Amino acid sequence: MSTSPVFKNFINGEWVDSSSGKTFENRNPANKSELVGTFQDSTEKDVEAAVAAAREGFKKWRLVPAPKRAEVIYEMGRILVERKEQYAREMTREMGKVIKETRGDVQEAIDTCYYGAGEGRRLFGQTTPSELPNKFQMCVRQPIGVCALITPWNFPMAIPSWKIIPALICGDAAVIKPATDTPLSTYNIVKAAQDAGLPPGVLNLVTGSGSRVGTPLLRSKEVRLVSFTGSSEVGRKLAIACAEDFKKLSLEMGGKNAIIVMDDADIDLAVDGAIWGGFGTTGQRCTATSRIIAHKSIVGEFTKRYAARARSLKVGNGLDASVDVGPLVNQSQLETVSSYVDIGLKEGAKLVSGGHRLDSGDHANGYFYAPTIFGEVQPGMRIAQEEIFGPVVSILTAENLEHAIELANGTVYGLSSSIYTHDINNAFVAMRDIDAGITYVNSPTIGAEVHLPFGGTKQTGNGHREGGMTVLDIFSEWKSIYVDYSGRLQKAQIDNN
């Protein structure tokens, strides 16, 4: 594409330029000469305007009955269905993953809309008996206020939807700052919200860098909640910054997700799972399979079949329907992947497939890397411990189930996990003992559905879960209400001794 559309910020229901007058470019990682669009390089002033708009938007939106808020969200879902193919193609062009997966990303946003809209007629609270006569009590969910949503590039529409939809259904207002690599998909979901009839100020979009947009946004005194998905390094800084004002903070960060393959597993099924989990989205999911922990009696056979399959994957431009694996998102991810492969080689792991850039012919203009597998990886190696966020999988060997679970649990992360086995006893022990937010049996570490809690233990998060009904606990606060209809002062039991 030769034209370069200019995309604006969305503040108080209007599409506006940044006060800086500057823009930044969004380029296709499969073909760097293709400009996808230019976006606003915003500043603190734009953030202030967006937060002020959200504060005003919140005043009205919180009073709109939740079933009515839901009607706007149903309409958003319908609009996304209508535009699914266009938005998927734009997403592949801005971040590289293959078209089937970007259709899936838009679909996840659609599912989130329909699931979240259903909450408009639930948002259940509780009533309880009182210890006193003629007294009624209940607890209800209350909106929180202005939320800052800071989102990553790997699920450029799905992850924004995980935050936007529950915020809206709970009656909050929000300012979203998308990753600079993928502003277009966030622009598209915000446009769908506008076209669905969301009132001005309730949802605002400000694009730009972490330091000029993200930092002032999360430091704003008006912001009551920060919801972040991204690296542990940035998450730690956010946690420290939010602690100063005791802002509510939900974090969803790294993973070093393992598939355990037991000696009784269907090896071909496990290979299928490890190919999809390891190289789907070019390994750039927080839930990506980055370790295989194979039982010693099948590790050789598994490695042989897995490496052969990895070598047969077609890497290329994600808009080509025959391509299995797209590029990495940018130069810096490419460098990270290359440097981890060097580290793995220095650490003495055995390279069994890939291990190099693809940079000639059709690959010359993009950030392509061959699907890479290391065998004979030791648990203490950096490639077995650190999140790489690319198409690099490490195979470790386990003596037995107990050892496999110990290895699976032996990192600082605890997002997703999986076991391949036909033994129901093995499966239940793994479900109980793997320390992670998600465990799959006989399927890979990716593929979470929107109506179950999503998140992880240890350094993956800070105890919150997006998705499912648990996301409501992030975006609302409980209020307990006591109604005394006795007509006299009744002291609580503790005050009546």
Closer residue to ligand UN1 (CB): 75 or 108: 108
Does residue 286 have an active-site annotation?
Answer: yes
> Can you give the C-alpha Rg of the chain in angstroms?
24
Select the span of 17-25, 29-37, 57-65, 280-288 touching ligand UN1 (CB under 6 A): 280-288
Q: 413-414 and 350-353: which strand pairing?
A: unpaired
Q: Is 440 in the site for ligand UN1 (CB under 6 A)?
A: no
- Least Å distance, CB 412 to ligand UN1, is 17
The 8-class DSSP code of residue 461 comes to B
Binding ligand UN1 (rule: CB under 6 A), the pick from 446, 459, 460, 474 is: 446
- Please list the alpha-helical segments (H only) found in 8-156: 44-61, 66-82, 84-95, 99-118
Decide if residue 419 touches ligand UN1 (CB under 6 A).
no
Measured from the CB atom, the residue of 79 and 448 that comes closer to ligand UN1 is: 448
Nearer to ligand UN1, 26 or 154 (CB): 154
Q: Rounded distance, CA 190 to CA 163, Å?
A: 12
Q: Is 198 in the site for ligand UN1 (CB under 6 A)?
A: no
Contact 318, 326 (CB under 8 A): yes
Distance CA 48, CA 236 (A): 24
369, β-bridge pairs: 357
The residues in 125-164 that bind ligand UN1, with binding defined as CB under 6 A, are: 154-155
> By CB under 6 A, is residue 387 in contact with ligand UN1?
no
Residue number, nearest CB to ligand UN1: 448
Q: Which residue has the tokens 């100020």?
A: 201
- Residue 447 touches ligand UN1, criterion: CB under 6 A: yes
Could you tell me the smallest distance in angstroms from the CB atom of residue 139 to ligand UN1? 31
Return d(Cα 175, Cα 148) in angstroms, integer: 5
Q: At 85, is the secondary structure helix, strand, or coil?
A: helix
Is residue 275 a contact residue for ligand UN1 (CB under 6 A)?
Answer: no
Residues contacting residue 218 through CB under 8 Å, at least 6 positions apart: 148, 150, 226, 238, 241, 242, 247
Closest CA to 265 of 273, 257, 275: 273
Name the one range near ligand UN1 by CB under 6 A: 17-25, 279-287, 337-345, 390-398: 279-287
User: Considering the rule CB under 6 A, would residue 389 count as an interface residue with ligand UN1?
Assistant: no
Pick the stretch among 15-23, 60-68, 443-451, 486-494 that binds ligand UN1 (CB under 6 A): 443-451
Asked if 114 is part of the footprint of ligand UN1 (rule: CB under 6 A), the reply reads no
> Closest by alpha carbon to 286, among 459, 28, 111?
459
- Shortest Cβ distance from residue 437 to ligand UN1 (Å)? 11
> Is 274 an interacting residue with respect to ligand UN1 (CB under 6 A)?
no
Contact flag: residue 286 with ligand UN1 (CB under 6 A): yes
Of 30-38, 183-191, 370-378, 440-448: span binding ligand UN1 (CB under 6 A): 440-448
34 included as an active-site residue: no
Q: Extract the tokens encoding 69.
A: 């808020």
Q: Per the residue annotation, which of 90, 101, 252, 466 is the catalytic one?
A: 252
Binding to ligand UN1 by residue 98, rule CB under 6 A?
no
Kindly name the residue from 147, 170, 242, 286 that is annotated as catalytic: 286
Using the contact rule CB under 6 A, the part of the chain among 21-29, 32-40, 188-196, 446-454 near ligand UN1 is 446-454
Q: Residue 108 interacts with ligand UN1 (CB under 6 A)? A: yes
Distance of alpha carbon 174 from alpha carbon 164, whole angstroms: 7
Q: Does 111 bind ligand UN1 (CB under 6 A)?
A: no
Least Å distance, CB 325 to ligand UN1, is 16
Among 285, 291, 305, 309, which residue sits at the site for ligand UN1 (rule: CB under 6 A)?
A: 285
Phi-psi region of 158 (alpha: psi -120 to 50; beta: other; left: phi over 0): alpha
Please return the burial class of 447, using the count of CB atoms within 10 Å of its CB with bins 0-12, 13-18 and 19+: middle
**CB-CB contact of 167 with 149 (8 Å):** yes
Q: How many residues bind ligand UN1 (CB under 6 A)?
A: 9
Smaller CB separation from ligand UN1, 108 or 119: 108
Tokens of residue 166, six digits: 């529950």
234 vs 242: CA distance, rounded Å? 12
Tell me how far apart the alpha carbons of residues 247 and 199 are, in angstroms, rounded to a whole number: 26
Sign of the alpha-carbon dihedral angle for 431, 457, 398, 344: positive
287 touching ligand UN1, by CB under 6 A: yes
In whole angstroms, what is the distance from residue 214 CA to residue 205 CA? 12
Q: Which residues are catalytic?
A: 252, 286
Residues that bind ligand UN1 in the complex, under the rule CB under 6 A: 108, 154-155, 285-287, 446-448
